[in-house]
Amino acid sequence: MSKYFVSACLSLFLLSGCAASQESESTQPQTEPVLEESAQQAPVEPAVKEQKKKGNKKEAKKEAKKQEKATRAPKSEAEVRAALHETGRKLVLRASRTITPSKSSKAVKTSGNGYVATYISIDPDNFSTDMRPASQAGQYIGFIRYSEQIYSCHGKTKKEALAAPCQVSSSRRLNEMIHFDGREWRY
C-alpha cells in the first residue's frame, strides 16, 4: 500500500523472515530472495555437472576396458612365446645396465703383493628363453637364461689395477624364472 509499509516489510523479511499480512505485498518480497538464491547457485551447477561428466568419462573408460578384456581372445602359444622373448630381452638389458660392480665402477681388493680390480658384464644379446605350461590352463612358467662374465684386472697399485687391461676370470650361467598369468609375464 504505502512505500513505507513495503520497505518496512522488506527490511523485516530480510532480518527475520517476516510474512506480510496482505497477499499482494507478501509475494513481492518473497520472489526477490528466491531469485538471489538461484543466482548464487547457478555458478555452482556447471562445476557439479563438470565433475559428473569427468566421473562419467572415467566410468566409460573403465567399462571400455572391461569390454575389451571380455572380448579379448586368449593368446596363442606363439604370442605368449614372443612376449616371453621380449620380456627376457628387457630384463637382460636392465640387468646389464644396473649390475655392480660394472666396468665404469670396478671393485678393487688387495691380493698378495698387488691389487685386483673386478667387474661383471652381461652380454644383452646372448640370452635364451624357454617356457612350459603351468598347472592352470592359459598360464605358463618362463625361463630366461643368460651368462655373466667376471673380469679381473691386476696391478701393483690401485690406480694400475684400475687402468690395466682386464681378462675374463670366470663366468656363470643364470636361470631366471617368471610366470605368465594369462595376460602378461610377471616377475
pLDDT, one tens digit per residue, over 149-169 is 999 999 999 999 999 999 999
Q: Which of 32-36, 58-62, 75-79 has the highest mean pLDDT?
A: 75-79
Tens digit of each residue's pLDDT (9 = 90 or more) over 3-19: 555 555 555 555 554 44
Range of the structural domain that residue 147 is part of: 75-186
Of the three residues 53, 70, 87, the one that is the final residue of a domain is: 70
Residues 40 and 12 in one domain: yes
Co-location of 27 and 92 in the same domain: no
Residue 89 has a pLDDT of 95
- Using CA atoms, how far residue 44 sits from 32, 48, 54, 57, 156, in Å, is 20, 6, 16, 20, 79
Name the pLDDT band for 57 (thresholds 50, 70, 90): confident
Number of domains in the chain: 2
Q: pTM for the whole thing? A: 0.57
Helix boundaries (H) for the chain: 3-16, 23-41, 44-71, 77-98, 158-163
